[in-house]
Structure 1
């Protein structure tokens, strides 16, 4: 039986990758920092997963054939890496350096015991995650290990688009291992980064032009999600499916997705226009799914990061500009996002204080990397004030 190591047993690890591996009859080795979660997984050797379809149907499955190791169990982790067909990470970018020594130890053992190519799939929210993690792992290898890494270890980017909401009592199940996820089943990966023979795993989709998949995720999915979250919050909605059902918000979303999808098709002329349009329409259907009960607060969290010049909103503006498309709708979204002041989000409160202390013009310049006096900067500032006057009187 094939085996895979999954670093991270959180929402994506259990709610997406674990599901795909279970469907493919893999033995799953979870590596997790939280000891209580490790103990629970090992005591039951399974966990419940509820999949939510776009049509409103639910499917409950039990993911089994698994073992979990706490990150301190270095020998067990090394042995698992040496014997596995494929490795996944879903730990969060800031935690990648912490697991790099564990992966390096596993590579050193694999070199001795099972020196065949292996691939590490990075399910992380960072464009350059594969190269970043490769560098981190390389720092912990000896000369022989470094050579093996260069020749036989693939660090492979992925685009994670399955939505997994934060668990709480609203789903009616009192079980710390219970997890809910939408049934979206595709995990695109960078086929050009693969080393050796790639194993057959349910849902994994090889992509040659991986940059186009990254842009679709960031500037269609993530930017669309942000539009619903920030505008939905200002209008008093709690859930994403409520926000998209609002005609005004839906119209802005349509305009945003038209701007970004048109720009992406111009940037990547080899893409199939029908497929991109189907991707957009399918995404809007997924956002409408009331069973997900995905909150605007979860989707909108960390607004400072999401307003950064390389992230979804300002990056979407830059994408449109590069393709001679004026981003009128995204400019509105930037103004909405700058009004996000949810009092339980520390980042939102920090943003609010930055604007109070420095002024919106300075924040546009420092945070977004924009000139507050050009057409884009002036448009965002105008949008910010319009939404502030309307919703924060």
Structure 2
């Protein structure tokens, strides 16, 4: 076997890892961060010559990333798969690897750190269904009683407390997860936890919580990807991540102190992320979910296979043009028609092999931010959001028939499905009763309920 990638490999990176000091902490150092924010951070440092933006990457549960990258001195590669031959680039911006809770609060408290970024997925925020912190969550309850926090919100508040004691400067907490108004969401959760813990500080008041919108398709890495990476790189990389060539990052320009010059790497700094965010969530992410559930139900293993199904591609297109576009007020420079076409083109990339079951994960927390807002807006306008309702019905069919459900509400969903009355109407009635997903306005809307029953009946035929 080829020798493993390491600092001694002399593989070219955009920055010299040995020269970087840590100035940024990232919570949730999975594949997406390494293919997205870490790339922007490295390119920004290369463009400016700054050496203060090395990343301390934190895994919240698994030791996998640390086990992969620590023997490689934090180095890894991004394998880009487009329509042509794949390309590869080694990345050196990750300078430390932690597994929570060890060392996390201390690193956040480091005066050299001025930015904490997050990709912990929707469920990592421990939010209640109606918004705000879920104080019934066992992890939140444990952190309120403990000095060693294990939840993301607990770690951030403890880090802010420690900074207040040490006299460190103000901190920016930058969410990069698919949540509507993710900055405002994070701010509310952090403040609510701090209040419950009784630890409000000047650091908390000075902290900034900009919103951001991220976009890049990053499928799970396969053994075949590792073989290709080894061939292209000349070294064995256990931490290689795969991505499409496209990447986008829109960031609210609201920072408490210094930050990487991400705009030098192509990020968009703006006063208002919301229009970009809503277009992405409602067009790209919602369409992704529709194709994942319908594709999985038809036996397609990947999103690319699903979008090559002419009927599914038409349904995806109709979801965007008939249901979503009428609800959007796009930002200047974003043509929604072209954007919708690019979404389907990206999904059709056969080289990515983005699994339908991977996209289908965590549906109970994805549906509210990807689809239910569109449904509410169309119902309020007197329209029938048939294609958006079809996506929700496909989720209902999927969770009622899949052998395994990867979802934070998996146990509850299995119970609800098992107790549902027979037939489409019974399943709709049962799943609409899951309050963590559907608020009362949708549960009680006769038009929405009728659409679900109709679409579920068609899917069950």
Gaps of at least 5 residues in structure 1 are none
How much does 1:45 deviate? 1.4
By relative contact order (CA 8 Å, sep 6+), the higher-ranking structure is 2
How much does 1:79 deviate? 6.6
376-385 vs 120-129, which moves further = 120-129
Q: Identify if the C-alpha distance between structure 1 residues 259 and 170 changes in structure 2 by more than 3 Å, giving closer, same or farther.
A: farther
Q: Deviations over 1:131-173 (max 9, x none)?
A: 2443266359886x7223212x112222232222123335354
Q: Identify if the C-alpha distance between structure 1 residues 208 and 260 changes in structure 2 by more than 3 Å, giving closer, same or farther.
A: farther
Corresponding residue to 2:186 among 122, 130, 138: 130
Match for residue 241 of structure 1?
304
Q: Measure the CA separation in 1 of the matches of 2:108 and 2:371.
A: 43
Residue 387 (structure 1) aligned with residue 459 (structure 2)? yes
Q: Deviations over 1:241-266 (max 9, x none)?
A: 1111111111111110013442233x
Using structure 2 for the length normalisation, give the TM-score. Answer: 0.72
Match for residue 376 of structure 1?
448
Q: Measure the CA separation in 2 of the matches of 1:51 and 1:257.
A: 30
Match for residue 273 of structure 2?
210
Q: Identify if the C-alpha distance between structure 1 residues 274 and 140 changes in structure 2 by more than 3 Å, giving closer, same or farther.
A: closer
2:175, 2:211 within 8 Å by CA — same for their partners in 1?
A: yes
Any idea what SS the aligned residue of 1:194 has? coil
Match for residue 52 of structure 1?
80
Corresponding residue to 1:107 among 160, 165, 174: 160
Corresponding residue to 1:150 among 205, 208, 212: 205
Q: Identify if the C-alpha distance between structure 1 residues 136 and 184 changes in structure 2 by more than 3 Å, giving closer, same or farther.
A: farther
Residue 276 (structure 1) aligned with residue 332 (structure 2)? no
How much does 1:333 deviate? 2.5
How much does 1:291 deviate? 1.3
Corresponding residue to 1:68 among 84, 97, 115: 97
Any idea what SS the aligned residue of 1:24 has? helix
Q: Identify if the C-alpha distance between structure 1 residues 158 and 362 changes in structure 2 by more than 3 Å, giving closer, same or farther.
A: same
2:109, 2:168 within 8 Å by CA — same for their partners in 1?
A: no
Q: Deviations over 1:283-312 (max 9, x none)?
A: 1111111111001111112344445xx342
How much does 1:116 deviate? 3.7
Match for residue 232 of structure 2?
none
RMSD: 3.2
How much does 1:20 deviate? 1.8
Corresponding residue to 2:239 among 168, 173, 177: 177
Residue 227 (structure 1) aligned with residue 301 (structure 2)? no
1:7, 1:31 within 8 Å by CA — same for their partners in 2?
A: yes
Q: Measure the CA separation in 2 of the matches of 1:245 and 1:35.
A: 37
Any idea what SS the aligned residue of 1:290 has? coil
Match for residue 322 of structure 1?
380
Q: Measure the CA separation in 1 of the matches of 2:237 and 2:340.
A: 35
Match for residue 173 of structure 2?
120
How much does 1:110 deviate? 4.2
How much does 1:239 deviate? 0.7
Gaps of at least 5 residues in structure 2 are 1-19, 46-52, 126-139, 141-150, 228-235
**Would you tell me which structure has more helix in proportion to its own residues?**
1
Any idea what SS the aligned residue of 2:256 has? coil
Q: Measure the CA separation in 2 of the matches of 1:178 and 1:203.
A: 23
Q: Deviations over 1:54-79 (max 9, x none)?
A: 43442212222412233344388437
Match for residue 160 of structure 1?
214
Any idea what SS the aligned residue of 2:56 has? strand
Q: Measure the CA separation in 2 of the matches of 1:101 and 1:302.
A: 22
Using structure 1 for the length normalisation, give the TM-score. Answer: 0.84
277-286 vs 346-355, which moves further = 346-355
Match for residue 4 of structure 1?
24
Match for residue 131 of structure 2?
none
Any idea what SS the aligned residue of 2:261 has? coil
Q: Measure the CA separation in 2 of the matches of 1:56 and 1:136.
A: 49
Q: Identify if the C-alpha distance between structure 1 residues 371 and 161 changes in structure 2 by more than 3 Å, giving closer, same or farther.
A: same
Match for residue 286 of structure 1?
346
